[in-house]
Amino acid sequence: MTQPMLVFAHIPKTAGTTLTGVIEREYGVAACVHVKNWHDHRDESLEAIRGAAANPFTRAVLGHLPFAARPAFPPTTRWLTVLRDPVERALSDYFYGKRVGAVPLAEYLARTNNLQTRMLSGIDPTESAPAEELLEGAKRNLRDPTTTVALAERFDESLALCTLRFGWRGVLYRSVRVNDQRPTLEQIGELDETAILRENEVDLELYRYAELLFAAAVAESGAAIAFELRALELAEERYGARRSPSTGKEGYVGQLPLLDDPDGRALGSDASALEARVEQIGLASALGSERIRTSRIAQELATANLRVERVEGERDGLLGKNAALLENKARLKERIARINHRRNRDVANTEPPDSGPTIPEAARPT
């Protein structure tokens, strides 16, 4: 049975690029449609969405899409989004792309305040709306049964939750676009932190609400999510993938005391099932990486073919120009030959007739 299409609404600087890589490995690059930034390319995004929805081979649509795009998708579409602590997200976004110095922090915050709420509210982010309306719309969308809420700070658990909900095989991942050089929250100073909090008060309330939804989803998954986390941990150790550990808070499912689980209640008593799952994750990761590699080779081959076609087109154009030049040269030679022929004929017609030898005047008879 074909599963409904998945839309990953990627909020900037929420571990979305890492999750995008996971989704591509799960479904294959060819089955994933990337949509341009809605804010700058709304019409192009809508056109891409319609094309993706009409294509039966589309498994996932990925991009900086707001929930305002929801009406463009089939009603059975599943949605996934990742939220991040608003202060950490704002800092990461500000220091990404070297905005520091070029754009003052206050100006940046005024432009991007409460970005998570605006993207999730269901109201087009380019339009203005009261904060209360944005917040209520975002909460409504997050608790919708077709929406899966993930948290950047609890990425491993989020990945395990997605694996259970979407039937993923489970793949190991590498964190990308991590800026280890940016200042930490403790380093930016109290004034800057206060400014970020002031400009993102609504986002902070939404994030706390998302934490509650996520905790409820994890609790509902029970032993299954603990089993997935343990399998991911063992697969990481066995296959040597460089994965970033979950940064869950104390008491959350996924912390080492729960993962150790000496009595086996959370992890399950069947060790063979865990071993089989670890092997499955290893194979799925290898297959996913091979899919990405094959897709990249196919893209490079397609690009090379386009270059060959362009070069051949340029060559054909040059050959055509050369043939035209040769044709012009032949016509010119023919014209020159005709001109020379006429000139020689005219010269022959104007020469005086031959009157015999000339006799000197002194020798003439008188």
Q: What is the pLDDT of residues 275-334, one digit of tens each?
A: 888 887 777 777 766 666 676 676 677 777 777 778 888 888 888 888 888 888 888 888
Closest residue by Cα to residue 206 from 156, 133, 154, 126: 133
Residue 282 lies in a domain: no
Residue 356 lies in a domain: no
Residue 360 lies in a domain: no
Phi/psi for 65 (5° steps) reads -100, 130
CA distance 342 to 355: 26
* Buried residues in 140-171 as b, exposed as e (16+ CB within 10 A): ebbeeeebbbbbbbbbbbbbbbbbbebebebb
Question: Do 100 and 94 contact (CB within 8 A), yes or no?
Answer: yes
Reported pTM = 0.69
Residue 100 lies in a domain: yes
Confidence of residue 361 (pLDDT cuts 50, 70, 90): low
Residue 215 lies in a domain: yes
CATH number at residue 194: 3.40.50.300
Nearest 5°: the CA angle 119, 34, 178 is 70
pLDDT tens across 206-246, in order?
999 999 999 999 999 988 898 888 888 888 888 765 444 33
Residue 289 lies in a domain: no
Residue 24 lies in a domain: yes
DSSP 267-284: T-S-HHHHHHHHHHHHHH
Question: Could you give the number of structural domains in the chain?
Answer: 1
Please indicate whether residue 176 or residue 24 has the higher confidence score (pLDDT): 24
Closest residue by Cα to residue 172 from 72, 70, 79, 244: 244
Residue 134 lies in a domain: yes
pLDDT tens across 55-90, in order?
999 999 999 999 999 999 999 999 999 999 999 898
What is the end-to-end Cα distance of the chain in Å, rounded?
A: 133
Closest residue by Cα to residue 158 from 81, 67, 265: 81
Question: Do 172 and 239 contact (CB within 8 A), yes or no?
Answer: yes
Closest residue by Cα to residue 109 from 130, 128, 131, 86: 86
Confidence of residue 3 (pLDDT cuts 50, 70, 90): confident
Domain that holds residue 200: 6-225
Question: Do 32 and 62 contact (CB within 8 A), yes or no?
Answer: yes
